[in-house]
Homo-oligomer: A and B are copies of this chain.
Amino acid sequence: MFNNRVKIKTLLTGDALTGSEVIVMGWVRNFRNNQFIDLNDGSTNQNIQVVVALDLLDDATRKRITTGASMRVKGAVVPSLGKGQKVEVKASSVEILGDSDAEKYPLQPKKHSLEFLREIAHLRFRTNTFGAVFRIRHSLAFAIHQFFNEKGFIYLHTPIITASDAEGAGEMFRVTTLPTDNPPRNEDGSINYKEDFFGKSTNLTVSGQLEGELGAMAFSEIYTFGPTFRAENSNTTRHLAEFWMIEPEMAFYDLEDNMNLAESFIRHIIKYVVEHNYDDLEFLDRRLAEEEKQLPQDKRSEMGLLQKLEFVLNNDFERITYTEAIDILLASPAYKKKKFQYEVKWGVDMQSEHERYLVEKHFKKPVIVTNYPKDIKSFYMRLNDDGQTVAAMDILAPGIGEIVGGSQREERLDKLEERMEQMHIPAEEMSWYLDTRRFGTVPHAGFGLGFERIVLFVTGMTNIRDVIPFARTPKNCEF
């Protein structure tokens, strides 16, 4: 047995261990004055200070205490005289587990750009920024499972490989085992997908929603939490080819129930992180403030990170219809001064600049926009009585834009079939989906949350590649 260490987080919280002999293990962040080691094990951003008496180690060993080296320290937990920590470890023995050549180790204790760290994504977990980001990402994921589990939702693993192309056609990754070089062909020269692994052409899923609805029609309330994919050639700070989505789907919910759930959901997971990761949030709050100092005044956030999260916890989201949103935009000074690049009129999809105006300038808080024109939304959204709009809802967040997209689903078979025909969705291939409307259909609703979007929102990071361990983007698939 080797794993008899005390985690640094445990050491630093509570005084219970003061006076006792412990073993700590971790990686050297810094070694000062030949005496003070800042040791980190990833359980927290805080380092434990290990004090090494000058006569404890020979010179050769002391030279091996470099940034990035790993070690096993035995020592007594004593009150610290230094600033910033209550306790430190007075080493009685120090064993180097793994060296880290100071000439070669890229993570020397100085400030590195996020761009540089992205290129060494396999090492960036060892920095304060990414330590905080990925501990928060973990907490958000856990809070999501906890939220739904407590409400009795069933976690449903919807398929990743799918033959369905009801959504997102043209932006999907093909999954195949056919030889690229010389695939089998039919007599007419077309590719013979019958020879492919699944006997047909298959893709990576863009959403688990349709399968999620199948589960909701039996368990009432389900959610998915899995990877989804877009083969979209977008090199932006907001797009990934591979990202994680949460998609709850609920029988017996209408649009209002859906909004209520989404709002309490977002609040729950933020609250969880504020309660469990406060020191990481404080670090990121300071980091963001530092970053923004370099921006011109008008580009800076109105609120600090922690302030923003507290604000979301304590204020209801604004709820407006799409029609009201368009009216607000048309009446805005920005519109009158022709500051919007894209057209504003009823019937067109709002662009990022419009959403940001609503959220950041007009309401200054998250906004739920409902009842969009049917022509800019998906076939499965429930047609409202006006015949023109559907019972959709998007949640827009400051600095991020859309974080949730959802709707009440069209539960009426005839209306759904009509929409599918209008939108050229092949009904015969979707017979399994229509069965839910044929047999015991019920009012139901659901939404999708892009996980990385909420991690961006909660961490204050600005590039989506910095909140997923290993980003997949056009021409980029490292590690």
Is there an interface contact between B156 and A134, defined as CB atoms closer than 8 Å?
A: yes
Across the interface, do A439 and B152 meet the contact criterion of CB distance under 8 Å? no
Q: Which residues of B contact A442 (CB under 8 A)?
A: 25, 70, 97-98
Measured between beta carbons, the chain B residues less than 8 angstroms from A204 are 161, 175
How many chain copies? 2
CB closest residue in chain B, given A171: B177
B70 touches A218 (CB 8 A): no
Please, how many angstroms separate the alpha-carbon atoms of A191 and B156 in the complex?
38
Interface: A318 (CB within 8 A): no
Partner pick for A98 among B141, B154, B411, CB 8 A cutoff: B411
Please state if A470 and B7 are interface contacts (CB–CB under 8 Å).
Answer: no
In the complex, A31 has a CB within 8 A of chain B: no
Does the CB pair B175–A178 fall under 8 Å?
A: no
Among residues of B, the one whose C-beta sits closest to the C-beta of A193 is B180
A369-408 interface code vs B (CB 8 A; 1 in, 0 out): 0000000000000000000000000000000000000000
Given contacts A5-B252, A152-B43, A252-B3, contact A160 B227 (CB under 8 A): yes
Q: Could you say which of A101, A229, A479 has the most chain B C-beta atoms within 10 Å of its C-beta?
A: A479
Contact segment of A82-90, A119-127, A284-292, A345-353:
A119-127
A173 in contact with B161 (CB, 8 Å): yes
Chain B residue at minimum C-beta to C-beta distance from A159 = B470
The answer to whether A190 has its CB under 8 Å from any CB of chain B is: yes
- Inter-chain contacts of A9 with B (CB < 8 A): 152
Interface residue? A91 (CB, 8 A): no
CA separation between A433 and B28, bound complex, in Å?
20
Task: Please state if A218 and B440 are interface contacts (CB–CB under 8 Å).
Answer: no
**Distance A373 CA – B437 CA, assembled complex (angstroms):** 56
Asked if A183 is an interface residue, CB under 8 A from chain B, the answer is: yes
Residue A145, interface by CB 8 Å: yes
Chain B residues, CB < 8 A from A145? 141-142, 145
Distance between Cα atoms of A100 and B435 in the complex (Å): 10
Q: Which residues of B contact A159 (CB under 8 A)?
A: 242, 469-470, 472, 477, 479
Question: In the bound complex, what is the Cα–Cα distance between A435 and B214 (angstroms)?
Answer: 45
Bound Cα distance A229, B254 (Å)? 37
- 0/1 string, A174-198, CB within 8 A of B gives 1: 1111101101000000110000011
* A135 on the B face (CB < 8 A): yes
Given the complex, which residues of B lie within 8 Å of A357, measured CB to CB?
none
Q: Which of A421-479 contact B (CB under 8 A)?
A: 432-433, 435-443, 468-470, 472, 474-479
Question: Nearest chain B CB to A15's CB is how many angstroms away?
Answer: 19
* Interface membership of A231, Cβ < 8 A: yes
Q: Which residues of B contact A164 (CB under 8 A)?
A: 479
Please tell me which one of the listed residues B27, B107, B154, B477 contacts residue A162 in the complex, with CB atoms under 8 A apart.
B477
Docked complex Cα distance between A98 and B412 (Å): 9
Question: With A70-B441, A160-B160, A477-B161 given, is the CB distance from A217 to B2 under 8 Å?
Answer: no
Complex CA distance for A69 and B217, rounded to whole angstroms: 11
Nearest CB in chain B: distance from A32 CB, A:
18
When distances are taken between beta carbons in the complex, the residues of chain B under 8 Å from A342 are none
Does A331 sit at the interface, judged by CB under 8 A? Answer: no
Residues in chain B near residue A265, CB distance under 8 A: none
Contact of A432 among B233, B435, B478 (CB under 8 A): B478
> Are the CB atoms of B241 and A197 closer together than 8 Å?
yes
**Is the CB–CB distance between A123 and B161 below 8 Å?**
no
Q: Which 5 A-B pairs have the closest CB atoms?
A: A125-B218, A98-B441, A42-B219, A198-B477, A70-B440
Interface residues, chain A, CB within 8 Å of chain B? Answer: 1-3, 5, 7, 9, 25-28, 41-43, 68-70, 72, 97-101, 104-105, 107, 122-123, 125-126, 130-131, 134-135, 137-138, 141-142, 145, 149, 152, 154-164, 173-178, 180-181, 183, 190-191, 197-200, 202, 204, 211, 214-215, 217-220, 226-227, 229, 231, 233, 241-242, 244, 250-254, 256-257, 260, 411, 432-433, 435-443, 468-470, 472, 474-479
Can you give 27 A-B contacts (C-beta < 8 A)? A1-B256, A3-B253, A7-B220, A26-B220, A99-B440, A101-B438, A123-B214, A125-B217, A134-B215, A135-B219, A137-B157, A157-B468, A161-B204, A162-B477, A173-B176, A174-B175, A174-B176, A174-B177, A180-B180, A180-B183, A197-B231, A197-B241, A197-B474, A199-B477, A211-B470, A211-B479, A215-B469
Given known contacts A42-B154, A134-B154, A137-B157, what 6 new A-B pairs fall within 8 Å (CB)?
Answer: A42-B219, A98-B411, A161-B241, A164-B479, A174-B176, A178-B180
